[in-house]
Each structure stands twice: as structure tokens, then as C-alpha cells.
Amino acid sequence: MHRIGFLLMDGFQVMALATQSVFEYANMVAGEPFYRVENYSVNGGPVTSSMGMAVETRAAGTHAAVDTWVMAGVGNPLEAPVPEAMLAFVRKAAPRARRVASICTGAFVLAEAGLLAGRRATTHWAYARAMQRSHPDIRVEDDRIYIVDGPIWTSAGMTAGLDLALAMVEKDLGADTARSVAHKLVMYQRRSGGQSQHSELLDLSPKSDRIQSALDYARKHLGQPLTVEDLAETVHLSPRQFSRIFTAETGQSPAKAIESLRLEAARLMIEQSRHPLDVVARETGFRDRRHMREAFVRGFGIPPQAVRREART
């Protein structure tokens, strides 16, 4: 049996506990209790979450042989220092475990304990720069869902913990089991670790249903030219009205927004498929491979080939 211990501190985010469902359903799919999940804290007893809900925990020092430690994140890791007792326990327990993981801002605990020094890591995008400033010896990648660097696993914020847990299930029990668990949990897809934390549709966040409809249309028809006239027609506006309203609601011109959507789609195809770059460019609406490369360098600072190499790594 593989034992998974969740380390909790006062103020922990309840969302971290949702990842335990991944291991619960993995047991169901496997047809046997492969995982045993327990909650721990330094002193044991009730630990209060950021929303005031108390969770009973075992004292960390009394643990049996835990294979995987998972450090839950807290609401704001910059408000208070990590208790020294927690850091001392993490430093002592990490070498004895098969792997150590963090969800969201739990990465700050691993960083303070010295476990991330010289490694790649991620955390919630809102705190990634603060982590990099505080710990320059860590290669913080603020645009990743999760990162596995040897025995250390770190995830981005909130729901990214589900993707990290599914990746653990895939590592332990195989891809078929992980897919079945994702299906039972009604997850749209199991996102790869290299996938971006950000969504262009979320970043644009238009205020009206009309502009949202135009963006939805664009996302589904990226392989087409998608001129301002095309988009305006879908929402029954003149091109001039559409451009004015679109820019006012999103802060971007329609052309810039469409390029961002194309970049996001192309990046996902490059990370998750083996399609040649010419095919990716065509499917996502770029004129050709060269045009796509220019957009990648402008938008991401690296060419498509570098994105594919990193995803394979």
C-alpha cells in the first residue's frame, strides 16, 4: 500500500483536500486499496483552514512509513513565516520519502526548507515572482501547471493540484488508470505539466455576452481568416461598432486577441501532439510556419521548436 500524507498548517486552502479524491478514485479503478491517504500536522489535532473549517490531523512525528508527502498551500504565504517546527519536520521527512510534493503555495514551505534549491519549481502565478526574489537559487517557472524535478513535485494554484495528483496516479498505476480516474471525476482533460497556467479567454474576460460569443466563435474557427468583418457579422454589429466595443471590454484590439488565441492553441498542439509545425501553423490559422515562429518569439520569447523540446523533456 502506498501511503500519502497531506501536511496541513493553520490557514491551509481547502481546495488542497480535493486532490485526495484522485487517490480515492484510483483505488476504485484499481479494484484494491493501493493508496492510503491521511492528514498530518506538526502537533496533530484540529487544523483550521482559511475559511474556518477544522480538519482533524495526526501528529507528523507519529507517522508510519509515508511514501509521498504533500504540502498543502495557504491563502497568502507572504503574510507570516513558516513555523520552524514545520520546516524541521519537512527537512527530516523528505529524504525518507519516495517523493515530496506541494500544491499551490505549499511550494513556499519546500523552498524555505531548502528542498527546491537548484531545482525547477512552480507555484501559484500570483506568488511566483515573490518566490523567485526570495529564493534566487530556484528556477521558478510561473507558467506551468506542475513540474516534476526528481523526487520533488510542485503544482500551480488550486485545480492544478488535481493534475499533479493524476500525474502521480499515472506514474504509479499507468495511463489507462489515470484516464479512467479523470473520466470518473468529470475532468475535461488531464493537463500535461508543461501546459500554461493562463487562459487567453480568461485574461480577456469581456463584459458582455455579445463579445464573449465572438471570442467563442473565434476559438472554434481558428483555422479560418477571422477578419473583423467576420467576427462582427457573427454578433450582428458593424465592423466599426464591433472593434470599438471589443477594445473597450477587453483592452485589446480584435487582431491582437485573435493572435493570442492562435498562440495558445498552437502551444497546446505543440506540447500535446507530434504534429509537424507546418500542420500546427495551418490548423491554428497562421499563414505558415514562419509566421507562427514570429508570433511565438513575439509572444513567448522563444520559438516553437523550443516549446516542443521543453515539453518532451
Give the active site residues.
104
d(CA 20, CA 161): 10
- What's the Cα-to-Cα distance from 51 to each of 2, 75, 114, 157, 246, rounded to whole Å? 30, 10, 29, 17, 37
Is there a contact between 287 and 280 (Cβ–Cβ < 8 Å)?
no
**Maximum pairwise Cα distance, the chain:** 69
Question: Which of 116, 115, 118, 111 shows the shortest CA–CA distance to 95?
Answer: 115
Dump the DSSP string for 121-134: E---HHHHHHHHHH
Cell of 32: 484494491
Dump the DSSP string for 180-208: HHHHHTT-S----TTS-S--HHHHH--SS
Tell me, what DSSP letter sits at residue 81?
Answer: P
d(CA 313, CA 309): 6
